[in-house]
A = this chain, B = another copy of it.
Amino acid sequence: MTTTHFDNVSVTTKANVYFDGKCVSHGFTLADGTKKSVGVILPATLTFNTGAPEIMECVGGSCDYKLDGTDVWVTSGEGDKFNVPGNAKFQIRVTEGFEAYHYICHFG
């Protein structure tokens, strides 16, 4: 099931713009202090580096992802989640002509 919204949060008004705008996200904080972000990845193949571990949850569109140390591209669509370890690299690929990948990034 897709997480359509988060209630009772504090949203940061300025976006994070990565890779010349191929990835745009807005951070927000839950009432208990937990930080998350919501974002979009436009058609591109991008390499990300984690600090803390992340869970990426798809809320629209889809992507293929490849974790470091594997040769396998896995598709992640609406409602799907995948885990990325801390201090790791991973790639996300959104195919040209397809809808952007809309995601929630959960940390920790």
Contact = CB atoms under 8 A, between A and B. Distances in A.
A2 B102 CA distance: 27
A39 B8 CA distance: 20
A33 to B, nearest CB: 13
Contacts of A75: none
A8 to B, nearest CB: 6
A11 B38 contact: yes
Interface residues of A, number: 30
A22 to B, nearest CB: 8
Given A21-B21, A26-B26, A40 B15 contact: yes
Nearest to A13: B59
Given A21-B21, A21-B42, A40-B21, A13 B100 contact: no
A28 interface: yes
B12 A100 contact: no
